[in-house]
C-alpha cells in the first residue's frame, strides 16, 4: 500500500470532537483509490456523524471503477456493547452497476461482529437487497435480487460471457446466501426464478420465448471439495436449440443433480442426475467427469419412456430429418441404458415393449415388437432378441417372426436364420451382416443371403394391385448387398409360374426408400403356358407355350421406363397352338390401334384358330415403345403367324407407339366383362 | 461492301452460336419444360394473381446496329428458334418425373406460407434455402427444415431425372441452372429470391 499527500486535522473544542483525514491515493494489489477524505464529527455524547468520500475507486479483477463514492452516516451511536448506524446513506455517482443512492444500516459490536444491511441497491435495471455479517473472519452475505436483467448481471459478473447479438432478455429474482471464512467461500444457497427469458440467435438456430426457470442450489465446501444439490424446473415457455424444440406446455421439464466438484482436480462426480420430460421420457445418470473439458470418464445414462410416440416426436424425429425415418407414427415403451468411458460410448442396451412404427408415406410398417438389444464396443455381448408381430414393406405384409442378432463394435451379425412368413410362403434370411451403421462417420453397408419358399404370386400380385399371377415363388438370393443406397442381388431369382420357369438376374434397386427408386433387372421366361397366362390377363384364350427375354428392365418410381421384351413361341414347341377370336381381336388392336373386326366377317363362326408362331418385341425407351414381330415380306410384321385353315395372321403395322397409348390399349381390352387394370 | 464486311462475321457468329446450343444442351426447350413444371408446382398454391413471366433477355433485346445485320439476325432467329425446338425436345413425361412433380405439388401449399414470410427463399442454385429461421415460430422450425430438406431432395431428383430421361445424365448441371432461372422468374408475389451475387429481394 502506498499513500501520498496525507493530511490530518483535528479540533477538540469544548462542545464537540471533530476529526478530518484525507489521502491523495492508496494502491493495493489490483485496486486503487484516490481523493479519499474521512470526517468524523461528534454531535452528542457517543453520537458521531461520519462521512467517507472517495473520488475514484478502481475495483480489482477489472470489475470497473466507482466514481464519486460517498458513504455517510449522520448518526453513529454507541449502543450498549457496540456501535450502531440506523440511517446511513451511500451515493455513487457512476459505477459499473449504474449510479447509486441508497440507505444502509450497520452495527459493530465490541466483540468483533459486524452487520451491514443495504435494503435497496439499483442493479441491472432491478434491485438487490444486501445483508452482510462478519465475525472474526467468518462472514455471510444475503443477496435478494428482484427483477434484475440477466444480460446485465452476466456482464457485471465478468465470468459469464453471453452472446451480444442474441437479444437476450430475462429477469432474475430470489435469494442467494453466501457464507465463508478466512479461506474464502464455503457455502452457497440459491433459490432463483428466471422469468421472461427470451433470446434469438441471428441464424435462428437457438431461440427461446417466455421461458420461466426455477432453480434451487445448495453447495458446501469441505477440504476443497464442493458437495452440491441442484434442481431446475422449467414449467412454462418454449425453446429451440437446433434441432430440438421443447415446449413446456407439452409437459414441464425438471432436472436435478447432486454430487461433488473439486476445482483443484477438475473433477466432477455426479452421484445422481435426473431429467424428467413430463409424459415423454425420464432420464437418470451417474458418472465421473474429469479433466480440463470435464470429459466423461465413467458415465451411465438410463432413459425410459412409456410413450415412444412422444419420445420420437419431441426428441428423435428432429435428428432424423432428411432420412426415410423422419415421418413415422410410433407407439410403445422404450428403455435405454448407455455407458461411456474415456474413449466414448462402450456399452448400450435397449429394451422394447409393444413398439410399433408406421411410415406415413406407406413404405414400411413394424407391428408390435418386443425384445432387447445389447451392444458392446469391443466385447461380444449376449444375443439380442426381437419378437416382431408383423411388418410390411410397400404394402407386402408379413407374419410374426423372431430375430436373434449379436451387436458388437460396428457390426451386426445374425445368430440364427430369420424366417419371415410372407404371402403364404416364407423368406428365410440365412445370413445378415451389417457394418458401419453404429459408428459416427462410417458408411453403413450390409450383406445377406436369403431364400424364398412358396411365396404366392397370386397374393403378391393382388397386394401390389397387378394383374393376378398364378404360381409360387421360390428362390435362392445369395448375394444380397446394400452399399451407399444401392440394394443389389448377386445370383439369380428363379421361380415357377404359369407352368414355366422365370429367372431374374442382375436385380438392383437404387434408393429403395427414396422418392424415385430405380429398379434394374434382366429376366428370361421359358415354357410359359399361354392358356394360364392369357386367362390371368383376361386377354382371350391362347394355347401353346411361350418364351420371353426381357433385357435391361428399368423401373423408375416403380413404373416401367426401359426394357427390351421379346415374346416368342419356342422353337420345336410341339404343344397345341390355338388362339381364340377374342385374343386375335385384342392382339390386332394392340398392334395397330384398331380392332380386327372379325365378328363382322364370315370368320366369326370360328371360336378359335390354329397358329404357327407368336412373336412380339417391345422396346421401351422412356415414353416411346418400338414394336416388332416376325419379318413379313409384304410390309408390317407378324404378331401371330397362322397355320392351317381357316388361316388367320395378326399383322402389326405400327412400329412405334407412345408407351402411355400402349398401356391405355391394354387397359381397354375387355373380355367377358373383365377389365385389365 | 461495308454491309458485307459487317454482315458476314455476324452470319458466321449466328450460325456458330445456334449450332453450339443444339449440340450441347437444348436450352430453349429445357427452359420451356422447366417453365411448364414450375408453373404447375406453383399453381398448387391458391393464388391471387400469377404475374406474367419476366421477359427473358432475348425477348427484351432491342436490336442495334446496321439494318442489314439486324434483318439477318431477325431472320435467323425466326428460322433457327423453331428448328431448335423441333430438333431438341425435352421429355418431361416420364413416370418418375410425374411422381416427383406430384410430390412437389403436394408440398407447395405447406411451403407457400414460409415463402411469403421470408423464412424460405428460392436460391440461385435451383434449390430452396432457409434464409430467416427467426421469422418462423419456434414450433415450426423443424417443420420448415423438413419441408426444405424434402423439397430440395425432390428438386435434385427432378433435375437428374430430366437429364437422365433425355439420355444425357451429364446435363444435370445445365438443367439445374435452367430451373434456377425459371423458379426466380415464375416466383409469386411476396416470395424471396436470391440474385447471382447472393443478395435477397422480395418479389
CB-CB under 8 Å, B96 with A516: yes
Report the distance separating Cα A469 and Cα A219, nearest Å.
Answer: 76
Q: Where are the beta strands (DSSP E) in A569-644?
A: 578-580, 608-621, 624-628, 630-631, 637-642
> A162 to chain B, minimum CA–CA distance in Å?
19
Between residues A10 and A57, the one the model is more confident about: A57
Question: Would you state the pLDDT for residue B86?
Answer: 38
Q: Tell me the torsion sign for CA atoms A156, A161, A162, A165.
A: positive
Check if the beta carbon of residue A81 is closer than 8 Å to that of residue A109.
yes
Between residues A3 and A572, the one the model is more confident about: A572
The H or E element that residue A664 is part of is: helix A659-668
Work out the average pLDDT over A601-612: 73
Nine-digit cell string for A178: 453466501
Which residue of A lies nearest to B104 if distances are taken between CA atoms? A515
Which of A417, A416, A340 is closest to A383 using CA atoms?
A416
Sorted by sequence, the CB contacts under 8 Å of residue A641 that are 6+ apart come out as A611, A612, A613, A614, A615, A630, A649
CB-CB under 8 Å, B165 with A515: no
> Which residue numbers of B have CB closer than 8 Å to A's CBs?
91, 93-96, 99-100, 103, 130, 132-136, 138-139, 141-142, 145-146, 149-150, 153-154, 157, 161, 165
Strands A425-435 and A418-422: antiparallel
Per-residue pLDDT tens over the stretch A320-365: 888 888 899 999 999 999 999 999 888 899 999 999 999 998 889 9
How many Å is the maximal CA-CA distance in chain B? 74
Residue A79 DSSP SS3: strand
Which among B96, B136, B149 is the nearest to A559, CB-wise? B96
CB-CB under 8 Å, B132 with A515: no
Contacts 24+ apart (CB under 8 A), B171-178: B171/B25, B171/B30, B174/B24, B174/B25, B174/B27, B174/B30, B175/B30, B175/B34, B176/B125, B176/B126, B177/B126, B178/B27, B178/B30, B178/B31, B178/B34
The separation between the first and the last C-alpha atoms of chain A, rounded to the nearest angstrom, is: 101
Window from A414-423, A615-624, B46-55, B136-145 with minimum mean pLDDT? B46-55
The burial of A453, by beta-carbon neighbours within 10 Å (0-12 exposed, 13-18 middle, 19 or more buried), is given as: middle
Which among A204, A239, A561 is the nearest to B133, CB-wise? A204
Per-residue pLDDT tens over the stretch A649-663: 888 777 888 887 777
Tally of CA atoms within 13 A in the half-sphere of A45 that contains its CB: 0
B139 contacts in A (CB within 8 Å)? 238, 245, 247
pLDDT-derived band at A536 (thresholds 50, 70, 90) equals low
CB-CB under 8 Å, B93 with A623: yes
Residue A607 DSSP SS3: coil
Which among A322, A326, A559 is the nearest to B95, CB-wise? A559
Mutate to test the interface with A, among B102, B110, B146 (most CBs of A within 10 A): B146
Work out the average pLDDT over B8-37: 62
- Examine the pLDDT at B12 and tell me if it is beyond 50: no
Per-residue pLDDT tens over the stretch A291-321: 888 899 999 999 999 999 999 999 999 998 8
Mean pLDDT of chain A: 86
For A480-517, b/e burial (b = at least 16 CB within 10 A) is bebeeeebebeebbbbebbebebebebbebbebbbbbb
Q: Is A204 on the interface with B (CB under 8 A)?
A: yes
Q: Is A662 on the interface with B (CB under 8 A)?
A: no
CB-CB under 8 Å, A203 with B142: no
> B80 to chain A, minimum CA–CA distance in Å?
26
B145 contacts in A (CB within 8 Å)? 243, 321
Which of A539, A577, A569 is closest to A639 using CA atoms?
A569
Which among A205, A238, A623 is the nearest to B94, CB-wise? A623
Which residues 325-354 on chain A approach chain B with CB closer than 8 angstroms? 326-327
CB-CB under 8 Å, A515 with B157: yes
Mutate to test the interface with A, among B117, B133, B143 (most CBs of A within 10 A): B133
CB-CB under 8 Å, A515 with B103: yes
CB-CB under 8 Å, A561 with B94: yes
CB-CB under 8 Å, B130 with A557: no
Query: Is the reported ipTM for this assembly greater than 0.95?
Result: no
Window from A176-180, A518-522, A660-664, B64-68 with minimum mean pLDDT? B64-68
Per-residue pLDDT tens over the stretch A99-151: 889 999 999 999 889 999 999 998 888 999 999 999 988 999 999 999 999 98
Question: Would you state the pLDDT for residue A207?
Answer: 96
- Examine the pLDDT at B105 and tell me if it is beyond 90: yes
CB-CB under 8 Å, B154 with A245: no
pLDDT-derived band at B65 (thresholds 50, 70, 90) equals very low
Q: State phi, psi for A618 to the nearest 5 degrees.
A: -120, 120
B110 contacts in A (CB within 8 Å)? none
Question: Would you state the pLDDT for residue A553?
Answer: 94
> A470 to chain B, minimum CA–CA distance in Å?
27
Between residues B75 and A34, the one the model is more confident about: A34
Work out the average pLDDT over B177-201: 94
Residue B117 DSSP SS3: coil
> In 10 A of CB A395, how many CB atoms?
12
> B42 to chain A, minimum CA–CA distance in Å?
20
Question: Would you state the pLDDT for residue B125?
Answer: 94
Work out the average pLDDT over A91-103: 89
Q: What is the pTM of this model?
A: 0.75
Per-residue pLDDT tens over the stretch A553-578: 998 878 888 899 999 999 888 899 98
Check if the beta carbon of residue B98 is closer than 8 Å to that of residue B158.
no
pLDDT-derived band at A91 (thresholds 50, 70, 90) equals very high
CB-CB under 8 Å, B91 with A623: yes
- Examine the pLDDT at A514 and tell me if it is beyond 80: no
For A164-187, b/e burial (b = at least 16 CB within 10 A) is eebebebbbbbebbbbbeeeeebb
Nine-digit cell string for A322: 432428411
Question: Would you state the pLDDT for residue A30?
Answer: 82
- Examine the pLDDT at A492 and tell me if it is beyond 80: no
Mutate to test the interface with A, among B89, B90, B94, B100 (most CBs of A within 10 A): B94
Between residues A584 and B14, the one the model is more confident about: A584
Mutate to test the interface with B, among A197, A320, A516, A623 (most CBs of B within 10 A): A516
The H or E element that residue A139 is part of is: strand A138-146
Between residues B132 and A605, the one the model is more confident about: B132
Check if the beta carbon of residue A285 is closer than 8 Å to that of residue A299.
yes
Question: Would you state the pLDDT for residue A149?
Answer: 93
CB-CB under 8 Å, B157 with A204: no
> B77 to chain A, minimum CA–CA distance in Å?
30
Rg over alpha carbons for chain A, rounded to the nearest Å, is 43
A245 contacts in B (CB within 8 Å)? 138-139, 141-142
Nine-digit cell string for A294: 470435464
Which residues 566-625 on chain A approach chain B with CB closer than 8 angstroms? 622-623
Report the distance separating Cα B69 and Cα B96, nearest Å.
Answer: 45
- Examine the pLDDT at B24 and tell me if it is beyond 60: yes
Question: Would you state the pLDDT for residue A647?
Answer: 79
Nine-digit cell string for A99: 449510479
Q: Tell me the torsion sign for CA atoms A549, A551, A556, A557.
A: positive
Report the distance separating Cα A134 and Cα A118, nearest Å.
Answer: 15
pLDDT-derived band at A603 (thresholds 50, 70, 90) equals low
Question: Would you state the pLDDT for residue A667?
Answer: 63
Per-residue pLDDT tens over the stretch A20-44: 889 999 998 888 999 999 999 999 8
Per-residue pLDDT tens over the stretch A163-174: 989 999 999 999
Question: Would you state the pLDDT for residue A15?
Answer: 58
Outline where chain B has alpha helix (H).
2-24, 27-42, 57-60, 67-87, 95-116, 141-165, 172-186
Work out the average pLDDT over A636-641: 84
Question: Would you state the pLDDT for residue B141?
Answer: 94
Nine-digit cell string for A676: 385389365
CB-CB under 8 Å, B132 with A205: no
Question: Would you state the pLDDT for residue B180?
Answer: 95
- Examine the pLDDT at B52 and tell me if it is beyond 80: no
Please provide the DSSP assignment of A8-52 as one string.
EEEEE-SS-EEEEEEEEEEEETTEEEEEEEEEEEEEETTEEEEEE
The separation between the first and the last C-alpha atoms of chain B, rounded to the nearest angstrom, is: 50
Question: Would you state the pLDDT for residue B188?
Answer: 94
pLDDT-derived band at A376 (thresholds 50, 70, 90) equals confident
Check if the beta carbon of residue A454 is closer than 8 Å to that of residue A471.
no
Report the distance separating Cα B3 and Cα B6, nearest Å.
Answer: 5
- Examine the pLDDT at A5 and tell me if it is beyond 60: no
A326 contacts in B (CB within 8 Å)? 146, 149
- Examine the pLDDT at B123 and tell me if it is beyond 70: yes
- Examine the pLDDT at B116 and tell me if it is beyond 80: yes
**Cα dist from A173 to A125, A147, A195, A209, whole Å:** 12, 5, 8, 18
B132 contacts in A (CB within 8 Å)? 204
Nine-digit cell string for B177: 441452372
Which among B93, B99, B141 is the nearest to A516, CB-wise? B99
Which among B134, B142, B150 is the nearest to A243, CB-wise? B142
Which of A515, A593, A335, A609 is closest to B149 using CA atoms?
A515
- Examine the pLDDT at B5 and tell me if it is beyond 70: no
Which residue of B lies nearest to A321 if distances are taken between CA atoms? B146
In which residue are the cell numbers 441404458 written?
Answer: A337
Question: Would you state the pLDDT for residue A472?
Answer: 79
Report the distance separating Cα A526 and Cα A330, nearest Å.
Answer: 46
- Examine the pLDDT at A435 and tell me if it is beyond 80: no
pLDDT-derived band at A10 (thresholds 50, 70, 90) equals low
Which residue of A lies nearest to B102 if distances are taken between CA atoms? A515
Question: Would you state the pLDDT for residue A105?
Answer: 95
Nine-digit cell string for A361: 408415406
Strand order in the sheet with B192-194: B128-130, B120-122, B192-194, B200-202
Sorted by sequence, the CB contacts under 8 Å of residue B164 that are 6+ apart come out as none
pLDDT-derived band at A11 (thresholds 50, 70, 90) equals low
CB-CB under 8 Å, A557 with B134: no
Report the distance separating Cα A76 and Cα A87, nearest Å.
Answer: 9
Which residue of A lies nearest to B133 if distances are taken between CA atoms? A204
Amino acid at each position: 500500500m502506498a499513500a501520498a499527500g496525507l493530511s490530518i486535522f483535528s479540533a477538540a473544542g469544548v462542545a464537540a470532537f471533530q476529526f478530518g483525514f484525507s489521502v491523495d491515493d492508496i494502491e493495493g494489489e489490483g485496486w486503487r483509490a484516490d481523493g479519499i477524505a474521512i470526517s468524523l464529527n461528534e454531535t452528542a455524547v457517543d453520537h458521531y456523524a461520519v462521512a467517507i468520500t472517495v473520488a475514484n475507486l478502481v475495483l480489482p479483477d477489472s470489475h470497473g471503477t466507482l466514481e464519486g463514492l460517498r458513504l455517510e452516516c449522520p448518526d453513529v451511536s454507541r449502543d450498549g456493547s457496540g456501535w450502531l448506524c440506523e440511517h446511513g446513506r451511500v451515493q455513487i455517482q457512476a459505477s459499473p452497476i449504474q449510479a447509486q443512492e441508497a440507505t444502509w444500516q450497520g452495527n459493530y459490536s465490541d466483540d468483533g461482529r459486524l452487520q451491514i444491511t443495504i435494503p435497496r441497491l439499483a442493479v441491472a435495471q432491478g434491485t438487490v437487497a444486501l445483508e452482510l455479517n462478519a465475525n472474526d473472519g467468518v462472514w455471510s452475505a444475503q443477496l435478494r435480487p428482484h427483477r434484475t436483467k440477466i444480460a446485465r448481471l452476466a456482464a457485471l459478473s465478468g465470468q459469464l460471457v453471453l452472446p451480444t447479438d442474441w437479444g437476450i432478455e430475462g429477469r432474475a429474482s430470489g435469494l442467494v446466501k453466501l457464507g465463508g471464512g478466512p479461506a474464502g467461500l464455503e457455502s452457497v444457497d440459491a433459490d432463483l426464478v428466471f422469468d421472461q427469458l427470451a433470446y434469438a440467435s441471428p441464424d435462428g438456430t437457438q431461440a427461446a420465448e417466455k421461458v420461466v426457470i426455477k432453480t434451487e442450489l445448495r453447495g458446501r465446501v469441505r477440504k476443497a471439495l464442493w458437495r452440491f444439490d441442484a434442481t431446475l424446473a422449467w414449467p412454462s415457455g418454449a425453446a429451440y436449440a437446433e434441432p430440438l424444440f421443447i415446449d413446456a406446455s407439452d409437459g414441464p421439464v425438471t432436472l436435478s443433480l447432486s454430487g461433488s466438484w473439486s476445482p483443484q482436480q477438475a473433477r466432477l462426480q455426479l452421484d445422481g442426475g435426473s431429467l424428467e420430460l413430463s409424459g415423454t421420457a425420464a432420464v437418470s445418470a451417474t458418472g465421473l467427469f474429469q479433466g480440463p473439458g470435464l470429459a466423461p470418464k465413467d458415465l451411465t445414462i438410463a432413459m425410459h419412456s412409456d410413450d415412444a410416440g412422444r419420445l420420437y416426436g419431441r426428441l428423435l424425429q428432429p435428428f432424423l430429418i432428411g432420412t426415410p425415418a423422419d415421418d413415422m407414427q410410433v407407439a410403445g415403451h422404450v428403455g435405454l441404458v448407455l455407458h461411456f468411458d474415456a474413449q466414448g460410448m462402450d456399452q448400450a442396451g435397449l429394451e422394447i415393449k409393444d413398439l410399433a412404427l408406421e411410415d406415413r408415406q406407406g413404405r414400411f410398417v413394424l407391428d408390435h415388437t418386443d425384445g432387447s438389444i445389447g451392444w458392446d464396443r469391443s466385447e461380444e455381448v449376449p444375443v439380442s432378441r426381437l419378437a416382431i408381430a408383423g411388418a410390411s414393406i410397400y404394402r407386402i405384409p408379413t407374419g410374426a417372426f423372431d430375430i436373434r442378432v449379436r451387436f458388437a463394435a460396428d457390426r451386426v451379425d445374425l445368430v440364427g436364420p430369420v424366417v419371415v412368413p410372407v404371402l403364404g410362403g416364407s423368406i428365410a434370411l440365412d445370413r445378415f451382416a451389417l457394418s458401419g451403421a453404429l459408428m459416427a462417420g462410417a458408411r453403413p453397408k450390409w450383406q445377406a443371403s436369403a431364400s424364398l419358399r412358396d411365396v404366392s404370386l397370386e397374393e403378391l400380385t393382388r397386394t401390389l394391385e397387378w394383374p393376378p399371377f398364378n404360381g409360387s415363388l421360390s428362390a435362392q438370393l445369395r448375394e444380397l448387398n446394400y452399399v451407399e443406397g444401392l440394394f443389389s442381388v448377386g445370383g439369380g431369382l428363379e421361380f415357377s409360374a404359369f407352368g414355366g420357369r422365370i429367372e431374374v438376374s442382375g436385380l438392383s434397386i437404387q434408393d429403395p426408400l427414396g422418392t424415385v427408386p430405380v429398379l434394374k433387372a434382366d429376366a428370361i421366361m421359358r415354357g410359359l403356358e399361354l392358356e394360364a397366362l392369357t386367362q390371368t390377363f383376361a386377354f382371350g384364350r391362347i394355347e401353346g407355350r411361350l418364351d420371353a427375354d426381357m433385357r435391361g428392365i428399368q423401373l423408375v418410381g416403380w413404373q416401367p421406363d426401359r426394357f427390351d421384351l421379346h415374346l416368342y413361341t419356342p422353337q420345336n414347341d410341339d404343344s397345341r397352338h390355338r388362339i381364340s377370336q377374342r385374343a386375335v381381336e385384342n392382339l390386332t388392336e394392340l398392334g395397330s390401334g384398331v380392332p380386327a373386326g372379325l365378328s363382322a366377317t364370315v370368320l366369326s363362326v370360328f371360336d378359335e384358330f390354329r397358329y404357327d408362331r407368336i412373336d412380339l418385341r417391345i422396346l421401351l425407351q422412356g415414353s416411346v415403345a418400338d414394336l416388332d414381330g416376325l419379318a413379313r415380306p409384304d410390309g408390317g410384321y407378324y404378331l401371330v403367324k397362322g397355320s392351317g385353315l381357316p388361316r388367320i395372321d395378326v399383322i402389326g403395322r405400327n412400329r412405334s407407339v407412345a408407351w402411355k397409348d400402349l398401356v391405355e390399349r391394354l387397359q381397354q381390352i375387355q373380355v367377358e366383362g373383365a377389365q385389365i387394370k | 461492301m461495308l454491309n458485307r464486311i459487317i454482315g458476314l462475321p455476324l452470319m458466321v457468329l449466328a450460325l456458330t452460336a445456334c449450332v453450339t446450343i443444339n449440340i450441347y444442351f437444348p436450352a430453349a426447350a429445357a427452359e420451356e419444360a422447366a417453365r411448364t413444371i414450375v408453373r404447375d408446382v406453383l399453381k398448387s398454391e391458391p393464388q391471387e394473381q400469377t404475374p406474367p413471366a419476366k421477359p427473358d433477355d432475348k425477348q427484351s433485346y432491342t436490336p442495334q446496329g446496321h439494318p442489314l445485320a439486324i434483318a439477318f439476325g431477325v431472320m435467323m432467329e425466326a428460322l433457327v428458334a423453331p428448328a431448335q425446338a423441333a430438333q431438341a425436345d425435352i421429355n418431361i413425361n416420364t413416370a418418375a418425373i410425374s411422381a416427383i412433380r406430384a410430390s412437389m405439388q403436394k408440398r407447395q401449399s405447406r411451403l407457400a406460407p414460409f415463402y411469403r414470410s421470408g423464412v424460405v427463399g428460392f436460391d440461385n442454385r435451383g434449390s430452396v434455402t432457409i434464409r430467416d429461421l427467426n421469422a418462423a415460430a419456434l414450433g415450426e422450425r423443424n417443420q420448415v427444415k423438413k419441408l426444405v430438406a424434402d423439397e430440395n431432395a425432390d428438386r435434385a431428383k427432378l433435375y437428374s431425372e430430366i437429364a437422365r430421361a433425355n439420355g444425357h445424365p451429364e446435363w444435370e448441371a445445365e438443367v439445374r441452372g435452367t430451373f434456377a432461372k425459371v423458379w426466380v422468374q415464375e416466383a409469386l408475389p411476396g416470395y424471396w429470391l436470391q440474385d447471382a451475387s447472393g443478395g435477397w429481394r422480395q418479389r
